[in-house]
Amino acid sequence: MMDNRKHLRRLSRREMLAAAGGGALAAALAVKLVGHQRVATNEDSPAGTSPDLALQKLMDGNKRFVEEKRTYPDQNRVRLAEVAQGQHPFAIVLGCADSRVPAEILFDQGIGDIFDIRVAGNITDDVVLGSIEYAAEHLGVPLIVVLGHEGCGAVKAALEGKPVPGHIGSLLAAINPALAKAKGQAGDPLDNAVKANVKLVVEQLKSSQPILTELLKEGRLKIVGARYDLDSGKVETIA
Ligand SMILES: [Zn+2]
């Protein structure tokens, strides 16, 4: 792993700088030294990343994942030192809690890149909205991706409509409104429901007042829906 050795050498240079004092400055300089690993530095304000560029960055990472050409960005000690000073994620991903859909891996991103919210069925409620608003408004994250996936168990359970124990029913109640929209569509009923659920959540977020509607109006935020394919590993935008 030639690359890793290179990083270690660069890291030790950073450590020398740090030892000389001025930790934050040293960290900023060190980030410059690992150019190809860098996604954002402390100098890059979140506003410096446009919604479209943020989406492109995710899709490029997914392409690398699918083609088994991952670069594992932002996962070294330099990145740790950098993000310890503060976080500047470039995307919010509202994805399913399903163990097969981890955003950093399937988008080939690293630490401090994605503000993750994972909940079964990638649904939204006031608590989820609070997290999203914090990231969009306070951190200035320009992109929200609602990420559904093939074979989602939560959507499947809602589709089956059988009684469920405990608090699981609250998940299904949130998904139910999407089922009506998918009903009668040609094709696979579960996949149609997964897509309808993503689209519904995208609409819910787009109409969420006052923070998200305002950011959308100002062009500082984009909200897209996507579907992850368990077989191919590919993410495609659907809304
Ligand atoms: Zn799921």
215-229 pLDDT, tens digit each: 999 999 999 999 999
At 2 the pLDDT is 37
Residues in a beta bridge with 237: 226
CA 133 to ligand 1 centroid distance, Å: 23
CA 60 to ligand 1 centroid distance, Å: 23
At 4 the pLDDT is 40
CA 131 to ligand 1 centroid distance, Å: 20
CA distance 7 to 25: 19
CA 74 to ligand 1 centroid distance, Å: 27
Confidence of residue 48 (pLDDT cuts 50, 70, 90): low
Is the separation of the CB atoms in 86 and 41 below 8 Å? Answer: no
Which structural domains are found in the chain, ordered by start? 1-33 (no CATH), 46-237 (3.40.1050.10)
Task: Give which of 136, 140, 37, 41 is closest to 85, Cα–Cα.
Answer: 41
What's the average model confidence in pLDDT over 113-139?
A: 98
At 137 the pLDDT is 97
pLDDT, one tens digit per residue, over 61-116 is 999 999 999 999 999 999 999 999 999 999 999 999 999 999 999 999 999 999 99
Confidence of residue 3 (pLDDT cuts 50, 70, 90): very low
CA 208 to ligand 1 centroid distance, Å: 23
Residues in a beta bridge with 116: 93
CA 119 to ligand 1 centroid distance, Å: 8
Query: What is the average pLDDT value for the chain, to the nearest integer?
Result: 86
pTM confidence score: 0.81
CA 12 to ligand 1 centroid distance, Å: 42
CA 152 to ligand 1 centroid distance, Å: 4
CA 134 to ligand 1 centroid distance, Å: 24
The residue that leads in pLDDT, 12 or 238, is: 238
CA 148 to ligand 1 centroid distance, Å: 7
SS3 for 187? coil
CA 202 to ligand 1 centroid distance, Å: 16
Identify the burial level of 40 via C-beta atoms within 10 angstroms of its C-beta, where 0-12 means exposed, 13-18 middle and 19 or more buried.
buried
pLDDT of residue 8 exceeding 80, the answer is no
pLDDT of residue 39 exceeding 90, the answer is no
H or E segment and range at residue 115: strand 114-118
CA 173 to ligand 1 centroid distance, Å: 15
CA 207 to ligand 1 centroid distance, Å: 23
Confidence of residue 19 (pLDDT cuts 50, 70, 90): very low
pLDDT of residue 162 exceeding 70, the answer is yes
CA 73 to ligand 1 centroid distance, Å: 26
H or E segment and range at residue 189: helix 189-206
The residue that leads in pLDDT, 175 or 27, is: 175
Percent of the chain with pLDDT over 70: 80
